[in-house]
A = this chain, B = another copy of it.
Amino acid sequence: MSKGITSQNEDYSQWYNDIVIKADLAEHSSVRGCMVIKPYGYSLWENMQSVLDQKFKETGHSNAYFPLFIPKSFFSKEASHVEGFATECAVVTHYRLKNDGNGQIIVDEEAKLEEELIVRPTSETIIWNTYKGWIQSYRDLPILVNQWANVVRWEMRTRLFLRTSEFLWQEGHTAHATSKEAIEETEKMLDVYADFVENWMAVPVVKGVKSPNERFAGAIETYCIEALMQDGKALQAGTSHFLGQNFAKAFDVKFTNKEGKIEHVWATSWGVSTRLIGALIMAHSDDLGLVLPPKLAPTQVVIVPIHKGEEDLAKITEFVDGLILKLKALNIRVKYDDRDTQRPGFKFAEYELKGVPLRIAIGARDMENGTVELARRDTREKFTVAQDGLDTYIQNLLEEIQKSIFQKALDYRNSHITKADSLEEFVELLDNKGGFIAAHWDGTPETEQKIKEQTKATIRCIPLNNPLEEGTCILTGKPSKQRVYFARAY
């Protein structure tokens, strides 16, 4: 335990909250359900954004921006969509305040909107209403657009990053001439997400599709990547939806195809959000604080001088200045903390809390010996290495740390995919081990719902390329052709 952080074993949920607060990532605001993302937390989001944005552009997408508000009537045009979002949306009804004459500021009832506006919970409706004006012919397709935006889904119980009434995300919305092309796009973006979450966030994922109960409101098929947290609960890390022609039909978006025939346009949408920061924290961090993968860490290397006097410090600083230049030339994000107001031990604890992957300590004896002391945040190993060639040593070590953090999470995840062949075994595993439980299910929404009610576990996904296997549903005993992954989830 460090700096008042509850240990994971004692209370995982409280541990999570402590980490978010103590590491200065975010805090609750005075607006119910809305968070303030503090500079350190936001810098993580910026690093994520920058990688994802580049990947979106490399796959041919452009960014655009659509209105925050959606007329209520748009929202209702796709039946299952409104069903999915109507119960949790912020509604704008007026456009002016006024002074009531007694010095109180009140809503001006004369400024009531003719039609209420919904603060976007997602933008399919407003975007497809816009696409109607952009698409006439197959030559106008595909449209490959992404938006970085804030969205609002009114939540009664909130948790920082994981579930907040307002959150930041990106939402891709693409339009295609054929079903095949739209499905390819849906799968391509799922791969982009999986690549990002595994190779940048160092969090292994299972790729799959959702059962009908868990599908996006308005989708034909929802693809997802599911990650496992250290407490054995799953977290949906990203979704990519094949929307078929549902939104094109709701908003009357048609095009003339190559054969001169008029048909409805095919759609996808896909998104990841600031929720990923929650996943990043819960996948790797420990009782001392954050553990960040080097590729996303705002600071990758911190250098702390251990000196007795000004003369020591001057020698150390001279060496460090040269080292920093070399590290920056290798695009390594490095910070030199020579504050004289804090002791080294205080600084060590602070950077452990903040999850800086690599710490370098340099004292007078190190300078004599031509060495430095390195400390890895992930394994907490310390070792002395030569100053000679230190820059490339560090570059390699950061890559090694990135791999090692991923491997650790992968080992944990792989050891937490367990088969269960009866409801008893299923509950036993959920309660005592957690993780993904591969079990047979009869394929009906009713059974999934009953299992959820009895066990709080949901089908996280039907893995892609799932092997076929004859079996019987753990609840109903009805025949089943494949196991699906259940878990309790965030």
Contact = CB atoms under 8 A, between A and B. Distances in A.
A126 B71 contact: no
Interface stretch (A72-80, A174-182, A434-442): A72-80
A150 B66 CA distance: 11
B130 A29 contact: yes
Contact of A96 (B31, B87, B129): B87
Contacts of A64: 36-39, 41-42
A75 B105 contact: yes
Interface in A27-55: 27, 29-31, 34-39, 41-43, 45-46
A308 to B, nearest CB: 25
A415 interface: no
A91 B92 contact: yes
A87 B35 CA distance: 27
B63 A36 contact: no
A17 B33 CA distance: 40
Contacts of A72: 97, 105, 107
B93 A94 contact: yes
A45 B62 CA distance: 12
Q: Contact size class for A?
A: 35 or more
B92 A88 contact: no
Nearest to A38: B64
Contact of A67 (B71, B98, B166): B166
Contact of A89 (B46, B63, B95): B95
Contacts of A94: 90-91, 93
Which of A69, A86, A150, A168 counts the most chain B CB atoms within 10 A?
Answer: A69
A296 interface: no
Interface stretch (A114-122, A315-323, A377-385): A114-122
A133 interface: yes
Given A91-B95, A150-B150, A43 B62 contact: yes
Contacts of A29: 66-67, 126, 130
Interface in A133-173: 133, 145, 149-150, 152, 154, 166, 168
Interface in A392-406: none
B65 A42 contact: yes
Contacts of A74: 30
A64 B66 CA distance: 22
B68 A150 contact: yes
Contacts of A27: 130, 133
Interface string A355-388: 0000000000000000000000000000000000
Residue of A39, A88, A107 with highest tally of chain B CB at under 10 A: A39
A87 B71 CA distance: 21
A82 interface: yes
A206 interface: no
Contact of A91 (B35, B39, B93, B129): B93
A70 interface: yes
Nearest to A40: B62
Contacts of A88: 95-96
Contacts of A90: 69, 92, 94-95, 117
A36 B89 contact: no
B87 A91 contact: no
Given A126-B31, A150-B150, A166-B68, A107 B96 contact: no
Contact of A39 (B62, B98, B119, B154): B62
B91 A105 contact: no
Contact of A68 (B34, B41, B133): B34
B168 A65 contact: yes
Contact of A86 (B62, B70, B98): B98
| Residue of A41, A74, A82, A154 with highest tally of chain B CB at under 10 A | A154
Given A88-B96, A107-B116, A31 B63 contact: no
Contacts of A71: 30-31
A89 B96 contact: yes
21 contacts: A27-B130, A29-B130, A30-B71, A30-B126, A31-B70, A31-B71, A31-B117, A31-B126, A36-B130, A38-B64, A42-B62, A42-B63, A43-B63, A46-B63, A86-B97, A88-B96, A89-B96, A90-B94, A91-B96, A93-B107, A150-B150
Interface of A: 27, 29-31, 34-39, 41-43, 45-46, 62-72, 74-76, 82, 86-99, 105, 107, 116-119, 126, 129-130, 133, 145, 149-150, 152, 154, 166, 168
